């Protein structure tokens, strides 16, 4: 038996299918399938019921899954404990792809600096494709990125192009947001056509083309407005009854920080998943400091995941 087999088993349970687990782990579906078949043969039991509709865990499979989760938790605990036996020093160059990612990175950096005063973490915010390219060219040691279902194919093609490894941490959803006094705020459910009369504002220098095209295909004809400062973006959005787009968990978290509150709308036509995770070059051996950075990023993401859940 190998640890990867347990890792794959936990991923199938987390993502609901072998194909989705393989996609999120950025490996081939056949690799996951073969590893789990070999595990079944080694244990002499059927772990998964397989059908055209997907997979489900057998009774024996559920017991094995529980042990697999416990094993992976022990492994993660041992990895974390190894950091406590030494004083970490060194430097990590880390790129974030959005204001959302930079919030998580900053919280991670505060924890790191308190625990390991001798370390240096240099960060920069760039569009997701620029982070990917910088990691590929080894200008950055790690990338911490989020991308949505609208541009997922394009982003994953970039992973393949540069031979990068992406490890997802959690899933979120995009929400169209408004200020507290917006005419649509508090409405139970909103038809997309109701959004067409309002300006769309963005934190990026240029709104993500895939998101903008999504709006245009549904009749939106206005040019998006860019304000490259989150506090003023929120102020502008709330003052002029505009629309902005933000991950759902970031809405909940950022409303604790900013005076201008933002509220997500219930727009059934806009149901867009977001993947959040870290990125490194396939031939790059991670240092202990980089592993600690990733561990704390994952911990911060878990805090976001637990918001109002």
**In angstroms, rounded to a whole number, what is the distance separating the alpha carbons of residues 65 and 47?**
8
DSSP conformation letters of 8-20:
HHHHHHHHSSHHH
Neighbours of 56 (CB within 10 A): 12
Closest to 138 in 3D by CA, of 90, 89, 99, 92: 92
**Token code pair at residue 283:** 């031939």
Query: pLDDT higher for 291 or 27?
Result: 291
Least confident residue range of 77-81, 88-92, 190-194:
77-81
Closest to 202 in 3D by CA, of 222, 167, 236, 227: 227
Helices 3-15, 18-25: inter-axial angle, 10-degree rounding: 110
* Alpha helix segments (H runs only) across the chain: 3-15, 18-25, 29-43, 59-82, 99-115, 128-136, 152-162, 209-217, 230-239, 248-254, 288-306
Least confident residue range of 32-36, 54-58, 202-206, 246-250:
202-206
- Tens-place pLDDT, residues 126-168: 999 999 999 999 999 999 999 999 999 999 999 999 999 999 9
pLDDT above 60 for 84: no
pLDDT band at 22 (very low <50, low <70, confident <90, very high): confident
Cβ-contact 133, 280 below 8 angstroms: no
Least confident residue range of 15-24, 47-56, 78-87, 90-99:
78-87
- Tens-place pLDDT, residues 39-77: 899 899 999 998 878 889 999 989 999 998 888 888 777
The DSSP letter of residue 198 is S
Exposed / middle / buried, residue 2 (Cβ in 10 Å: 0-12, 13-18, 19+): exposed
pLDDT, residue 214, reads: 94
**In angstroms, rounded to a whole number, what is the distance separating the alpha carbons of residues 90 and 236?**
41
pLDDT above 60 for 82: no
Query: pLDDT higher for 29 or 192?
Result: 192
pLDDT, residue 101, reads: 93
CA 2 remoteness from chain centre: 27
Cβ-contact 204, 127 below 8 angstroms: yes
- Tens-place pLDDT, residues 212-240: 999 999 999 999 999 988 899 999 999 99
Cβ-contact 141, 93 below 8 angstroms: yes
Cβ-contact 297, 105 below 8 angstroms: yes
**In angstroms, rounded to a whole number, what is the distance separating the alpha carbons of residues 177 and 164?**
33
**In angstroms, rounded to a whole number, what is the distance separating the alpha carbons of residues 220 and 213?**
9
The arithmetic mean of pLDDT across residues 116-128, rounded, is: 92
- Tens-place pLDDT, residues 259-288: 899 999 999 999 999 999 999 987 777 888
Return the C-alpha torsion angle 220, 223, 228, 231, nearest 10: -50
pLDDT band at 109 (very low <50, low <70, confident <90, very high): very high
The dihedral region occupied by 54, where left means phi > 0, alpha psi between -120 and 50, and beta the remainder, is: left
pLDDT, residue 270, reads: 95
pLDDT, residue 203, reads: 84
The structural domains of the chain, with segments of one domain joined by +, span 3-82, 89-309
Percent of residues, the chain, with pLDDT higher than 90: 55
CA 30 remoteness from chain centre: 24
Q: Which fold has domain 3-82?
A: Arc Repressor Mutant, subunit A (1.10.10)
| The model's pTM | 0.70
Instruction: Give me the CATH code for the 89-309 domain, please.
Output: 3.40.190.290
Neighbours of 81 (CB within 10 A): 9
**In angstroms, rounded to a whole number, what is the distance separating the alpha carbons of residues 83 and 161?**
34
3-state secondary structure of 235: helix
Strand pairing category for 90-96 and 142-148: parallel
Start-to-end Cα distance in the chain: 35
- Domains 3-82 and 89-309 alike in fold: no
pLDDT, residue 20, reads: 85
**In sequence order, what are the residues at sequence separation of 6 or more whose Cβ sits closer than 8 angstroms to the Cβ of residue 285?**
none
């Amino acid at each position: 038996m190998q640890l990867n087999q347990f890792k794959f088993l936990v991923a199938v349970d987390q993502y609901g299918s072998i194909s989705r687990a393989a996609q999120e782990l950025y490996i081939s579906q056949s690799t996951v399938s073969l590893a789990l078949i070999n595990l079944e043969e080694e244990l002499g039991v059927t772990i998964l019921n397989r059908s055209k509709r997907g997979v489900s865990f057998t009774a024996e499979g559920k017991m094995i899954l529980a042990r697999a989760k416990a094993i992976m938790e022990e492994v993660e605990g041992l990895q974390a404990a190894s950091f406590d036996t030494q004083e970490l020093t060194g430097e990590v160059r880390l790129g974030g792809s959005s204001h959302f990612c930079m919030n998580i990175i900053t919280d991670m950096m505060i924890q790191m600096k308190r625990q390991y005063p001798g370390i240096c973490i240099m960060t920069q915010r760039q569009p997701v494709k620029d982070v990917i390219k910088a990691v590929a060219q080894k200008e950055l040691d790690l990338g911490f990125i989020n991308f949505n279902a609208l541009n997922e194919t394009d982003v994953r093609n970039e992973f393949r192009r540069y031979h990068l490894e992406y490890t997802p941490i959690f899933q979120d959803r995009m929400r169209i947001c408004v200020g507290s006094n917006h005419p649509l705020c508090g409405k139970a459910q909103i038809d997309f056509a109701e959004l067409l009369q309002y300006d769309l504002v963005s934190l990026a220098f240029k709104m993500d083309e895939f998101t903008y095209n999504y709006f245009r295909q549904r009749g939106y004809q206005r040019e998006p407005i860019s304000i490259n400062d989150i506090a003023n973006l929120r102020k502008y959005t709330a003052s002029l009854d505009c629309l902005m787009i933000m991950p759902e968990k970031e809405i909940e978290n950022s409303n604790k920080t900013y005076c201008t509150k933002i509220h997500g709308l219930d727009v059934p036509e806009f149901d867009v998943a977001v993947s959040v995770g870290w990125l490194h070059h396939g031939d790059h051996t991670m240092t202990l400091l980089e592993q600690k950075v990733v561990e704390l990023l994952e911990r911060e993401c878990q805090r976001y995941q637990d918001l109002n859940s």
